[in-house]
């Protein structure tokens, strides 16, 4: 049979019209690195080898199950957790009553980083961006009256993964549910933390030992539990394009399989329980294609590297979450539409479970009202939109299949590059994925700020009157005080000798490499050790990892394109230089335990391009540390990036430290997820400028520079005296 394509007369006429069309419909290359044409035909399916198999057949392009949603729809999940265990428990019960089918737990940043709530470094973090868990008793209250033998529980935890998973297991035991009957997932994806999210505790190598110990323990003791959720979500949220998200996530997964395999575990013993976690953004068709490409790539690489006997070991099963980065503070009800589009892309791509973000999450933690809308979005898609009527409904689409093929090819090349480096652990230690993602993130922001990428309500079609949104507020001080009281009760009632013995065994195992760390952590939590005590015991051996902050350069200004629009910034900086004989110095601070640094890195890169001397402070600084470091470096302005709701505690504390050191001449600006109703409080505390979500970096740079010029003229003599030590 001839390979020549035969077109009907109608198709021939349509192609002729397309070829003679004006230049405005010519193709483009997307920021995801995909070649996009204005018209696709059957010719674009020629290289799509992935179409040869049915759903449920390797390489599972069309879905991991033969019947997909016609047999069982995706699981509706909601990522939730805030304040105390009691408050989160009430929220969980309400969500389950409203149709949610599984629980996904968000822990506060103090817990993520392995600190008890009474630790001085976490004064602004307790209960703010998740639920505070210090002991097994907190975990028991979190799941009170929720049967753990019937409920699937997903826990986003990587840093303090050992004591958290151990606490969950002990809470189940004391509820009457054995470990073998617990179902759910622990994220346990530490490599991703070193790339983007930064809620690590220990360095990469001992962290990988923890990962493999958890895989080993769950493989033998917890047959219904997924030992790891390999996450690309936070990569996309940090700015990764789809090719990077695919390649880096799958390379992480292969590294974890390798680590467990080298421990002597048979691949078929644990690989079928691995799961994945992807972000779903606004590139609708490409996101659908991404999930199909991910399944194909995973099956191919697992077969190539490990040759498992069980085809389930080749099967990629995934949870998805709609994008948080696509949510806007401006016109927030638009976010309901964005989330719906993203949810449809995830389900058409064949996800196994889904969390839909609430429309107010660019401002604060979701309210009960917004959470209900997010949950109902999935219910409507399941019951009203016909998405569960057929299997892989976009199969055979010229466009989707071509995108799938492109993603497979481009991600494959990036995975090969990582393998040539020696695998993902080596790549992470060299900073390769982190730099690559930061470059794309900075370029994306420049395209938005310059209007080349339209965001409705932000850089085009803005509303004159913004609606007032009721947001959930957490009283951080009362939550922390309540947690400290609970810790004291547990410590006064426990057998301290038993705790000391259990922690000693854990420390010895960390030192010698012998025995399973999760098994020993379970013993410690049974004895009522705290999360912080277990984490500190391990950090005594492994140390606490300190990341290195780098600033990528010559990305933002080049991508922005319109040099004339940036000219006022350059002029203002030149004015400052002529008045002081120095470039303005910006110190970027991340206070508390918030490791999300996409915004801070973009600001650093853009301001450096404009002519600032930019100093990126260490992650996880206390207000006092940031103030002292900024003073020692003679900076003109401190920029604080806040995404975890600790701004009302941490920023005033920093300003007070500046005042105590007679450094009031240093301006303090801040940006991130800060509700409008907190602005007056921060201004009264001494903040000079606040830049909310959606602020163009170019606008922030001009406002900041003008403020620095005015402040320098006003405080010149005062600053001169301070710097001379008078």
Q: CB neighbours (10 Å) of residue 464?
A: 4
Q: Distance between CA atoms of 379 and 377, rounded to whole angstroms?
A: 6
319 an active-site residue? no
Residue 507 burial (CB < 10 Å; 0-12/13-18/19+)?
Answer: middle
79 an active-site residue? yes
- Reference 231, options 157, 164, 314, 160; nearest CA is 157
233 an active-site residue? yes
DSSP E strands, 581-636:
585-589, 613-616
Q: Distance between CA atoms of 285 and 301, rounded to whole angstroms?
A: 24
SS3 assignment, position 523: helix
Selected catalytic residue, list 140, 261, 434, 596:
596
590 an active-site residue? yes
Distances (CA, A) of 364 to 38, 130, 270: 39, 12, 38
**Alpha-helical runs (H) found in 581-615:** 598-610
**Half-sphere exposure at residue 541, Cβ-oriented, CA atoms within 13 angstroms:** 19
Residue 10 burial (CB < 10 Å; 0-12/13-18/19+)?
Answer: exposed
**b/e per residue 546-576 (b: at least 16 CB within 10 A):** ebebebbbebbbebbeeeeebeebbebbeeb
Contact 118, 483 (CB under 8 A): yes
As given in the structure block, the two tokens for residue 587 are 């110190």
For 379: left if phi > 0, alpha if psi spans -120 to 50, otherwise beta; the answer is alpha
Selected catalytic residue, list 65, 217, 234, 439:
234
Selected catalytic residue, list 32, 138, 594, 678:
594
Selected catalytic residue, list 79, 202, 560, 587:
79
Tokens 């069980």 — which residue? 310
Q: How many helices (H) and strands (E) does the chain have?
A: 28, 16
Residues in the chain: 726
Q: CB neighbours (10 Å) of residue 384?
A: 8
383 an active-site residue? no
Selected catalytic residue, list 233, 542, 556, 612:
233
Contact 503, 533 (CB under 8 A): yes
Selected catalytic residue, list 590, 636, 657, 689:
590
Cα end-to-end distance, the chain, whole Å: 92
Residue 97 burial (CB < 10 Å; 0-12/13-18/19+)?
Answer: exposed
Q: Distance between CA atoms of 249 and 195, rounded to whole angstroms?
A: 11
Tokens 């999935």 — which residue? 378
Q: Are strands 585-589 and 353-355 parallel, antiparallel or unpaired?
A: unpaired
Cα pseudo-dihedral 85, 88, 93, 98, rounded to 10: -170
112 an active-site residue? no
As given in the structure block, the two tokens for residue 468 are 């007032």
Estimate to the nearest angstrom the gap between the alpha carbon of 140 and the chain centroid. 27
User: What positions carry a catalytic annotation?
Assistant: 79, 233-234, 590, 594, 596
């Amino acid at each position: 049979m001839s390979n020549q394509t035969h077109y009907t007369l109608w198709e021939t006429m349509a192609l002729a019209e397309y070829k003679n069309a004006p230049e405005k419909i010519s193709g483009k290359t997307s920021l995801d690195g995909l070649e996009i044409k204005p018209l696709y035909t059957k010719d674009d399916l020629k290289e799509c080898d992935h179409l040869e198999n049915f759903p449920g057949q390797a390489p599972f392009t069309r879905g991991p199950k033969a019947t997909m949603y016609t047999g069982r729809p995706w699981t509706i999940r909601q990522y939730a957790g805030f304040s105390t265990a009691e408050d989160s428990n009430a929220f969980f019960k309400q969500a389950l009553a409203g149709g949610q089918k599984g629980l996904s737990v968000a822990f506060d940043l103090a817990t993520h980083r392995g600190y008890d709530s009474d630790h001085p470094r976490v004064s602004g973090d307790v209960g703010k961006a998740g639920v505070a868990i210090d002991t097994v008793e907190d975990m028991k209250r979190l799941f009170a009256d929720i049967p753990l033998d019937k409920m699937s529980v997903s826990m986003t935890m990587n840093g303090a993964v050992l004591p958290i998973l151990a606490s969950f297991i002990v809470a189940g035991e004391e509820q009457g549910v054995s470990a073998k009957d617990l179902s759910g997932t622990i994220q346990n994806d530490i490599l991703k933390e070193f790339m983007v999210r930064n809620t690590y505790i220990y360095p990469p190598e001992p962290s990988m030992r923890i990962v493999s110990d958890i895989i080993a323990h769950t493989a033998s003791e917890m047959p219904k539990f997924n030992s790891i959720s390999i996450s690309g979500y936070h990569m996309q949220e940090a700015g990764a394009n789809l090719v990077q998200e695919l390649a880096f996530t799958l390379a992480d997964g292969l590294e974890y399989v390798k680590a467990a395999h080298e421990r002597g575990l048979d691949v078929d013993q644990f690989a079928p329980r691995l799961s994945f976690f992807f972000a779903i953004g606004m590139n609708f068709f490409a996101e659908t294609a991404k999930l199909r490409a991910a399944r194909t790539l995973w099956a191919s690489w697992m077969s190539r590297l490990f040759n498992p006997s069980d085809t389930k070991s080749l099967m990629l099963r995934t949870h998805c979450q709609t994008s948080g980065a696509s949510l806007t503070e401006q016109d927030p009800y638009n976010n309901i539409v964005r989330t719906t589009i993203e949810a449809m892309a995830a389900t058409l791509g064949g996800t196994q479970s889904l969390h839909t973000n609430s429309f107010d999450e660019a401002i604060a933690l979701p309210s009960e009202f917004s959470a209900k809308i997010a949950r109902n979005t999935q219910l409507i898609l399941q019951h009203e939109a016909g998405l569960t009527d057929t299997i892989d409904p976009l199969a055979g689409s010229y466009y989707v299949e071509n995108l799938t093929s492109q993603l497979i090819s481009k991600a494959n090349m990036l995975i090969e590059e990582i393998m040539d480096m020696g695998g993902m652990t080596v790549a992470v230690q060299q900073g390769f994925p982190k730099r690559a993602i930061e470059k794309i993130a900075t370029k994306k922001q420049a395209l938005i700020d310059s209007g080349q990428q339209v965001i409705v309500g932000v850089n085009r079609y803005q509303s004159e009157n913004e609606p007032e949104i009721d947001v959930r507020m957490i009283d951080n001080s009362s939550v922390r005080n309540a947690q400290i009281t609970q810790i004291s009760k547990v410590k006064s009632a426990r057998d301290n000798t038993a705790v000391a013995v259990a922690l000693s065994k854990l420390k010895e195992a960390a030192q010698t490499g012998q025995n399973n760390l999760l098994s020993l952590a379970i013993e410690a939590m049974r004895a009522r050790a705290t999360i912080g005590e277990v984490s500190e015991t391990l950090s005594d051996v492994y140390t606490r990892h300190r990341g290195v902050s780098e600033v990528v350069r010559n990305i933002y200004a080049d991508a922005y394109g319109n040099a004339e629009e940036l000219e006022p910034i350059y002029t203002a900086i030149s004015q400052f230089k002529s008045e002081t004989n120095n470039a303005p110095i910006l110190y970027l601070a991340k206070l508390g335990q918030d490791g999300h640094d996409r915004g801070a890195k973009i600001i650093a890169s853009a301001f450096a391009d404009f002519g600032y001397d930019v100093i990126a402070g260490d992650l996880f600084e206390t207000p006092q540390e940031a103030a002292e470091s900024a003073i020692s470096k003679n900076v003109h302005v401190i920029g604080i990036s806040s995404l975890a709701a600790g701004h009302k505690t941490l920023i005033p504390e920093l300003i007070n430290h500046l005042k105590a050191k007679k450094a009031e001449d240093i301006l303090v600006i801040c940006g991130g997820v800060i509700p409008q109703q907190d602005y007056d409080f921060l201004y009264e505390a001494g903040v000079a400028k606040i830049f909310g979500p959606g602020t163009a970096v170019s606008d922030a740079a001009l406002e900041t520079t003008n403020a620095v010029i005015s402040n320098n003229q006003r405080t010149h003599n005062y600053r001169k005296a301070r710097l001379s030590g008078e």
